[in-house]
């Protein structure tokens, strides 16, 4: 048997262990009774340790060398060459971190999350600060173990967005900030131009759920290889290319929650379902990065789901389902309502325009924390100052400010910028798909998403994790990652809605 085949056999077993762990994680959020939490934590820790051990044994290093010699001369984009490159990265990375540090981080973050929940409920940042300090110190250690040239933030970011450096993000995000701050200010002076009261009435939960399923089916989510369940926080998870699950939540008093939640998760799921079957049971059978993943969810949620064309097709159907709410509401009024902008305190409730400013603030603060320019004692003040500068609103307490996200308590440092990258990339890809197909707009208006999905499959989905995110964006869109298309899209759309 070739070295490559031996390597693949081992990776398949690791993929099975990881798939089983994902299934346990899914069950934990959907069905598990509260009493099962302690046992589940042990089970997940055991599977995590097994998977880590199987990847880091020295035989994997030897097989990687042997397999690399076997594929020498094959093109860079060949599946086997990409597989060896990606596994080499994962292997080297995993071996750089001492098991003790991995265990310490797991302990500190599981404790940190519990403390954060209490601190958040009490809206008391000082209650969370010591646990956060511990998590921060451990992540500085982690960055040192992984190594870096420019910033200790880089190896942390690299876990979620391989190959991208903080200095590159600083440049791109400076453009985003320069474009967005004045746009938000201009809209803030005209907030009364758009009213979304029609979305804030009672919409029967079951009907919302059924409509979400109808839309999901329509955009191409394959229910033979997936299903939708309810959860407190919507998410997508995959145990195989052929079993990709989504969740959503409904709010009976606010129509957009379930609808756009479903479309968002559908975007993630279409990506996972579209990965080439030849990559199944390998580490390539997942998204290229969190930013690329988020580009897919935001593309379907915002560029498709909040567009006029989409509602030209779906709005009559929605009126039919909710006649008491919408029969007398014109499509244009509905379109404006779902695109209402308002600077607010909470990231997860933010609209398309203000959302990235919430992210920039977090990216800048966590960069300063990791690089030692900001002390945790000064974090709430720094947070509030940036909120005032970027969005013109100030949190009245910690729960509405610095404590609102779970990420830092969970050790997810370097994660936030991937949300904004997703937004930027979504427009680069969407505009390319649009320009490649002269009938694009009329197809969307007719509820036909097949050619858009086919373009995404061909250019993004099927590749799985074969390419670095920046290479994938370049291959698919023809251009490097940049802010221009995203800013242009927002300016055009919202200048019209708010008559700027
Ligand atoms: Zn997402």
Give the distance (Å) from ligand 1 centre to CA of residue 297.
6
Is residue 272 part of the annotated active site? The answer reads no
Q: Are residues 361 and 259 in the same domain?
A: yes
Give the distance (Å) from ligand 1 centre to CA of residue 290.
8
Q: Are residues 202 and 323 in the same domain?
A: yes
What pLDDT, on a 0 to 100 scale, did the predictor assign at position 188?
Answer: 95
Residue 244 has phi, psi (to 5 degrees) of: -120, 115
What pLDDT, on a 0 to 100 scale, did the predictor assign at position 446?
Answer: 97
DSSP 321-349: H-HHHHTTS-HHHHHHHHT-----S-GGG
Q: Are residues 100 and 180 in the same domain?
A: no
CA distances from 467 to 8, 239, 475, 481, 500 (A): 18, 21, 10, 14, 40
Q: Are residues 101 and 221 in the same domain?
A: no
pTM, two decimals, is 0.96
Q: Are residues 480 and 384 in the same domain?
A: yes
Q: Are residues 179 and 258 in the same domain?
A: yes
Decide which of 103, 128, 153 is a domain's last residue: 128
Q: Which long-range contacts (CB under 8 A, 24 or more apart) does 184-189 make?
A: 184/341, 184/343, 184/353, 184/354, 184/357, 184/390, 184/391, 184/392, 185/392, 186/498, 186/500, 187/341, 187/353, 187/494, 187/498, 187/500, 188/343, 188/392
Give the distance (Å) from ligand 1 centre to CA of residue 315.
25
Q: Check: CB of residue 350 under 8 Å from CB of residue 403.
A: no
Q: Check: CB of residue 94 under 8 Å from CB of residue 52.
A: yes
Q: Are residues 438 and 372 in the same domain?
A: yes
Residue 209 lies in a domain: yes
Q: Are residues 228 and 82 in the same domain?
A: no
Decide which of 107, 128, 149 is a domain's last residue: 128
Residue 148 lies in a domain: no
Residue with tokens 């173990």: 145
CATH at 256 = 1.10.1370.30
Residue with tokens 């035989």: 59
Decide which of 99, 128, 157 is a domain's last residue: 128
- Domain containing residue 82: 3-128
Residue 327 lies in a domain: yes
Give the distance (Å) from ligand 1 centre to CA of residue 264.
6
User: What would the two tokens of residue 76 be?
Assistant: 């860079």
Residue 458 lies in a domain: yes
Q: Are residues 281 and 429 in the same domain?
A: yes
What pLDDT, on a 0 to 100 scale, did the predictor assign at position 37?
Answer: 86
Q: Are residues 188 and 321 in the same domain?
A: yes
- What lies within 8 Å, CB to CB, of 126 at 6+ separation is none
Q: Are residues 111 and 196 in the same domain?
A: no
125 vs 136: CA distance, rounded Å: 15
What pLDDT, on a 0 to 100 scale, did the predictor assign at position 478?
Answer: 97
Q: Are residues 121 and 51 in the same domain?
A: yes
What pLDDT, on a 0 to 100 scale, did the predictor assign at position 235?
Answer: 95
Supply the DSSP symbol for 247: E
**The one catalytic residue among 53, 70, 168, 265:** 265
Residue with tokens 């490097």: 480
Give the distance (Å) from ligand 1 centre to CA of residue 192.
30
Residue 372 lies in a domain: yes
What is the per-residue burial (b if ≥16 Cβ within 10 Å, else e) of 415-448? bbbbbbbbbbbbbbbbbbbeeeeeebeebbeeee
- Into how many domains does the chain fold? 2
DSSP 18-82: HHHHHHHHHHHHHT--GGGHHHHHHHHHHHHHHHHHHHHSHHHHHHHHHHHHHHTTS-TTSHHHH
Parallel, antiparallel, or unpaired: how do β-strands 243-248 and 236-240 relate? Answer: antiparallel
Residue 472 lies in a domain: yes
Residue 106 lies in a domain: yes
Residue 320 lies in a domain: yes
**Which positions of the chain have pLDDT values less than 70?**
none
What pLDDT, on a 0 to 100 scale, did the predictor assign at position 479?
Answer: 97
């Amino acid at each position: 048997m070739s070295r490559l085949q031996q390597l693949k056999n081992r990776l398949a077993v690791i993929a099975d262990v990881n798939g089983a762990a994902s299934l346990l994680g899914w069950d934990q959020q959907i069905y598990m009774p509260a009493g099962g939490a302690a046992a589940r934590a042990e089970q997940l820790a055991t599977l995590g340790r097994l998977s880590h051990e199987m990847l880091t044994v020295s035989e994997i290093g030897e097989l990687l060398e042997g397999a690399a010699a076997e594929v020498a001369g094959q093109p860079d984009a060949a599946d086997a060459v990409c597989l060896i490159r990606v596994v080499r990265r994962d292997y080297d990375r995993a071996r750089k971190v001492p098991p003790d540090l991995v265990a310490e981080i797991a302990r500190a973050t599981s404790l940190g999350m519990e403390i954060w929940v209490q601190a958040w409920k009490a809206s008391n940042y000082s209650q969370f600060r010591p646990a956060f300090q511990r998590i921060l110190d451990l992540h500085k250690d982690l960055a040192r173990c992984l190594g870096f040239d420019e910033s200790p933030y880089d190896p942390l970011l690299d876990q979620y967005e391989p190959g991208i450096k903080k200095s590159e993000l600083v440049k791109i995000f400076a453009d985003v900030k320069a474009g967005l701050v004045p746009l938000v200010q201009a809209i803030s002076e005209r907030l009364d131009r758009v009213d979304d009261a029609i979305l804030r009435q009672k919409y029967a939960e079951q009907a919302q759920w059924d409509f979400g399923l109808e839309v999901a089916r329509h955009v191409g989510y394959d229910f033979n290889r997936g299903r939708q369940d309810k959860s407190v926080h919507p998410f997508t998870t995959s145990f195989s290319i052929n079993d990709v699950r989504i969740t959503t939540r409904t709010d009976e008093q606010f129509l957009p929650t379930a609808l756009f939640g479903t479309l968002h998760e559908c975007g993630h799921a279409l990506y996972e379902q579209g990965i080439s079957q030849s990559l199944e049971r390998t580490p390539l059978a997942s998204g290229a990065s969190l930013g690329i993943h988020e580009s897919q969810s935001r593309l379907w949620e915002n560029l498709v789901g909040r567009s006029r064309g989409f509602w030209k097709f779906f709005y009559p159907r929605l009126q039919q389902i909710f006649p008491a709410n919408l029969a007398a509401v014109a499509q244009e009024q509905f379109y404006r309502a779902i695109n209402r902008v308002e600077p607010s305190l909470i990231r997860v409730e933010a609209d398309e325009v203000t959302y990235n400013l919430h992210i920039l603030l977090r990216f800048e603060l966590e960069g300063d924390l990791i690089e030692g320019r900001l002390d945790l004692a000064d974090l709430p003040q720094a947070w509030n100052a940036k909120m005032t500068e970027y969005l013109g609103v100030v949190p009245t307490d910690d729960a509405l400010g610095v404590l609102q996200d779970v990420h830092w308590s969970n050790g997810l440092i370097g994660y936030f910028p991937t949300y904004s990258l997703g937004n930027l990339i979504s427009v680069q890809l969407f505009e390319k798909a649009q320009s490649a197909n002269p009938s694009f707009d009329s197809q969307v208006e007719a509820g036909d998403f097949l050619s858009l999905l086919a373009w995404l499959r061909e250019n993004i989905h099927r590749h799985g994790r074969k390419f670095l995110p920046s290479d994938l964006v370049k291959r698919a869109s023809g251009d490097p990652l940049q802010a221009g298309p995203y800013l242009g899209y927002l300016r055009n759309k919202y200048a019209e809605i708010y008559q700027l």
